[in-house]
A = this chain, B = another copy of it.
Amino acid sequence: MTFPRSVLLRDVSLRDGLQDEAPVSTEVKLALFEALVAAGIRELELTSFVRPDRVPAMADADALCAATDGADVIRWGLVLNRRGAERALAAGLTHLQYVISVSDTHSRHNAGAGTDDAIAAFEAAAVPAIDAGATVEMTLSTAFGCPYEQRIDPARVVDVARRVAAAGATSIGLADTIGVAVPTEVAALTQAVADAVGDDASIGAHLHDTRGLAIANGLAALEHGATRLDAAVGGLGGCPFAPGASGNVAIEDLAHGLDGMGIDTGLSIDRLVDAARLACDAVGRPVASAVGIAGPRFA
């Protein structure tokens, strides 16, 4: 087993973890932000610039950006289009995360446009954002499977990745949006995308633990070219309408496992668990992480 010596774990609690929950106050988000930074988090998804009527939990994007200005952490803002990018830049963010669904059907349902149109829109939006000094990356949702189309052709994902990297995305996130990937698929797709984009973009994996495979999938990604994994404290991000269904892979479980394997994450497990308790209390859910329940393996 060959892994990178160090891995970037990007926390997505504040965005992906909270977006489908009843809105929590900006004050609580700030407390969580501080707890994450105290745990050693170097990059995080802070918020998204989407329609507040569609995602009320993210309605305080501007206030959250203002209140965290100057913090020693890279703050990513999720944007879906040019207007979102302009809002993010106006709010002071310099790191913009675009999302495109590689499933045409999912893209039409979720973003109102097919994948090709979404790529064209990204190409048009990325240029001015990059010109304005922003770092732009792309998350490819439904990269391993789609609720409408089920299996997605890996060649299609590779093609989309190559095009968005050519358009300026400095990192490609491969998202297992509905938690259907298995390790061999993650290994193969990560390798294929890494080979396709070469030095143009780094590779991240965004894995949901819906079927218990997120950690194994993350390790497969790291063995095949990914240098970043997304994760949320306490496994936040489960669909609120499917009680018990897991959300994002829990960052404290991932950090604990990598730490045991001698892979540096720069994170404090204990402080991540503190942050998980804070976040899960705020949304009224139990901490859904193994290490949050059992504690670290050796004292």
Contacts and interface: CB of A to CB of B under 8 A. Distances in A.
A253 B294 CA distance: 20
A135 to B, nearest CB: 31
Interface string A55-77: 00000000000000000000000
A213 B299 contact: no
A293 B183 contact: no
A237 B257 CA distance: 22
Interface in A247-299: 250, 253, 256-257, 260-262, 286, 289-291, 293-294, 296-299
A212 B180 contact: no
A212 B250 contact: yes
Interface in A203-250: 209-213, 215-216, 219-220, 223, 242, 244-246, 250
A294 B216 contact: no
A1 B261 contact: no
Given A182-B261, A299-B150, A244 B293 contact: yes
Q: Chain A interface: which size bin?
A: 35 or more
A151 interface: yes
Nearest to A219: B216
A184 B145 CA distance: 29
B242 A212 contact: no
Interface of A: 1, 3, 145, 150-151, 179-180, 182-185, 187, 209-213, 215-216, 219-220, 223, 242, 244-246, 250, 253, 256-257, 260-262, 286, 289-291, 293-294, 296-299
